[in-house]
Amino acid sequence: MLGVVNLDKPVGPTSHDMVALMRRLTGDRRIGHAGTLDPLASGVLPILVGAATRFSQELTGGRKRYTATIRLGATSATDDGEGPITVVGHAIPDDAAIQAALTGFVGTFDQLPPAFSARKLGGRTAHRAARNGQALALAPRTVTVDSIEVEDISRTNEAVDVTIDLRCGPGTYVRSIARDLGERLGCGGYLAALRRTEAAGLRVEDAITPGQLESLQAGGRLADALLPVAELLPLPQLRLSEQEADRFRHGSRIPVSDGPPSGRLAVFDARDQLLGIGTVAGGELQPEKVIQPGSAA
> Of 8, 17, 28, 38, which one is the catalytic site residue?
38
Whether residue 7 contacts residue 41, with contact meaning beta carbons closer than 8 Å, is answered with no
DSSP character at residue 54:
G
Which secondary-structure segment (H or E) carries 75? strand 74-76
Residue type, 24: R
Neighbours of 157 (CB within 10 A): 5
First to last CA, the chain: 9
CB 207 within 8 A of CB 7: yes
CA distance 240 to 248: 9
Active site annotation includes 38: yes
Q: CA nearest 260: which of 290, 284, 234, 244?
A: 284
What residues act catalytically? 38
